[in-house]
Amino acid sequence: MPTTFAPINPPPRLLMGPGPINADPRVLRAMSAQLLGQYDPAFRENMRETQVLFRQIFVTENKWTLLIDGTSRAGIEAILVSLIIPGDVVLVPVFGRFGHLLCEIASRCGADVRTIETEWGTVFTPEAVEAAIVQHRPKLLAICQGDTSTTMCQPLDRIGKICRAHGVISYVDATASICGNALPVDAWQLDAVSVGLQKCLGGPSGVSPITFTDAVAARLKERWHIEAGIQPKGFVPGTGPRIPSNYFDLAMIMAYWETGLNHHTEATSMLYCARECARIVLEEGLTESIERHRIGSEAMMAGLRAMGLRLFGDLPNKMLNVTGVYIPKEVDGEAVRRTLLLDFGIEIGTSFGPLVGVIWRIGNMGYNSRKEFILQTLACVAAALRLHGMTLPSDGVAEAHAVYKAAGQTAA
């Protein structure tokens, strides 16, 4: 007899960690729409609409704003493997786990990776980044905006301008920060940016929106190559070395989006998903989305402080969508997280590297950055701590509620 299983029926969870989060129900509905062929005119129109929407999300006029099929790491890898030629100097300012990830991917692309590092929980000054650019003379600067491992948000308003002044391509991984923190790509003169859906965009992981300038596109076209089975008659390849990945070859992916080159079969349901994520944010308003995350962050911090807990890191540079908090010495941090998950149905995050067992990371992202979810999370964190023997001065709910009341977002 064949082995079979019951239908998928996940337990109810409120995902209040550093991501992923609960997808907006409208996004889940969009993903259930009927499939179309990838060259159906109706589907090509869906692709065009998705580009229009994400230009507004990125606050850019970049023609080259499109989707990479795969998780947010696919967007990172597509940009780096397509831009880096082995031996290129790549500078990575590391302020958490995901800076190390950029080093890892750049190194696998054959880059000569140089780093500057700062203590986890802090960020870089523009002057420190510029000094490193002058010292190392990189072709590419790769940096995270929001690193959820530390909950810090690297200021970027001067970084793109510094890079352009020195002839350096700037690449930003904004997976965890987009739509919860300001990221005006054109105003900040950022050359290439990739993101994911599973944080403040309110969707599931599985596709990576990216944007890049015409100047970046020109570099990619120097490496223009089309696989033999679909080459048009008279095809002339670019003068640069072939991009070593077929799947993440941005030059061919650009042609797929622009002219319909048969590079891959589109992840149709994920395109519907990305389109709906962007549409929902823009329906609310990008500025309003960021403000909602700011108020949620203030409420979360107020509630945690009221419990007597200590917040982590350089708080003026904290991401607006995730908060680091020191694990009280009186409790076993993993035991408390397990109680929250199994008894209350709420997931919060631990961390990595030097912060393992030191902090929890509690998110307020996308669809989950809502008053009722934040108040519920605070009440349940307090209850879990009390179940593990702690005495708290408050459960933090009234203090967080006061933040919403001051913002005019509660009837009480």
β-strands 112-117, 346-347: how paired?
unpaired
Q: How many domains does the chain have?
A: 2
Give the pLDDT confidence score for residue 1 in this predicted structure: 79
Q: Residue 91: which of 163, 38, 174, 9 has the closest Cα?
A: 163
pLDDT at 410: 72
The CATH number covering residue 382 comes to 3.90.1150.10
Task: Provide the pLDDT for residue 262.
Answer: 92
- Tens of pLDDT, residue by residue over 51-101, are 999 999 999 999 999 999 999 999 999 999 999 999 999 999 999 999 999
Three-class secondary structure of residue 117 per DSSP:
strand
* Structural domain for 151, as ranges: 24-282
pLDDT at residue 388, as a whole number:
98
Judge whether 34 lies within some domain: yes
Q: In degrees rounded to 5, what are phi and psi of residue 82?
A: -85, -25
**What does the pLDDT read at residue 30?**
98
In the predicted model, residues of the chain with pLDDT beneath 70 are 411-412
User: Which pLDDT tens digit goes with each residue over 182-194?
Assistant: 999 999 999 999 9
Residues 37 and 174 in one domain: yes
Q: Are residues 238 and 359 in the same domain?
A: no
Q: Which of 231, 248, 282 is the last residue of a domain?
A: 282
Helix orientation angle between 214-221 and 72-83, rounded to the nearest 10 degrees:
60
Residue 387 lies in a domain: yes
- pLDDT computed for residue 134 by the predictor: 98
181 DSSP assignment:
B
